[in-house]
Amino acid sequence: MTYTVYGIGRSGSAIVEMALAKLSLPYEVRPIDIGVGAQQAAEYTAINPQAKIPAVITPQGETLTETLAIVITLDERHRAGGLLPAPGSADRVQALRWMTYVATEIYPLVEINDYPERFAIDADSAPATREVARAIWRRRWLVVERAIEGDPWLLPSGFTMADAYLAVVSRWAQQAEWRSEHTPRIEAITSAIAHQPDIGPVWTRHFG
């Protein structure tokens, strides 16, 4: 009864791995090295036609993609596991709100940062396209930073997968100096995650 996670270090598969680790569910990782374009290989696009990681195969043989959907599915199927607050609760509303914000308003900017040529009108304008994405990235992270009400977690009631989500996505787009100056609450969340006995080892494997 093992899950298969397609992913690579420092990628969104870290979020899925943290969810599985928190639930104590066994999983194996199949490396898809996006650095060499392995996500475009036919064997992988047969699993995720979007050619992106992560993807998950459940023990029942279902294919799951889209990180947010994977986290919510795991939470629904393992309600006692502590991934998200109870359905209908005020805390769940906030956890879903901020996970969705990170998934839809911030995560897609990573593609523009990493592959600006996909979005630029020509090769010369690719660097400027990346800079625009980074500027939007910074503004949107400040919105998350101001929404953090717990200490250190997003919610005062404690850890949710929203913390893992924002911690992982915040590592990208190469702005470590900016992060430490402008988003200290997010940095505190990442540091706390690294010290959790259940998900900390996953964090360390991905981010050191």
Ligand X SMILES: N[C@@H](CCC(=O)N[C@@H](CS)C(=O)NCC(=O)O)C(=O)O
Q: Which residues are at the interface with ligand X (CB under 6 A)?
A: 11-12, 34, 39, 51-53, 66-68, 103, 107, 111, 115
Least separation, in Å, of the C-beta of 197 and ligand X? 25
In this complex, which beta carbon is closest to ligand X, that of residue 52 or of residue 179? 52
Least separation, in Å, of the C-beta of 80 and ligand X? 25
In this structure, the strands spanning 3-7 and 27-31 are parallel
Least separation, in Å, of the C-beta of 125 and ligand X? 19
Least separation, in Å, of the C-beta of 90 and ligand X? 25
Distance CA 191, CA 55 (A): 26
In this complex, which beta carbon is closest to ligand X, that of residue 119 or of residue 157? 119
In this complex, which beta carbon is closest to ligand X, that of residue 23 or of residue 34? 34
What DSSP line would sit under 24-81, residue for residue?
A: T--EEEEE--GGGTGGGSHHHHTT-TT--S-EEE-TT--EEESHHHHHHHHHHH-GGG
Least separation, in Å, of the C-beta of 13 and ligand X? 7
In this complex, which beta carbon is closest to ligand X, that of residue 11 or of residue 160? 11
- Cα dihedral sign for 7, 13, 18, 19? negative
Instruction: Give residue number: closest CB to ligand X.
Output: 52
Q: Quick one: how many helices (H) and strands (E) in the chain?
A: 10, 4
In this complex, which beta carbon is closest to ligand X, that of residue 6 or of residue 159? 6
Distance set, CA 52 to CA 19, 27, 45, 160 (Å)? 19, 19, 8, 25
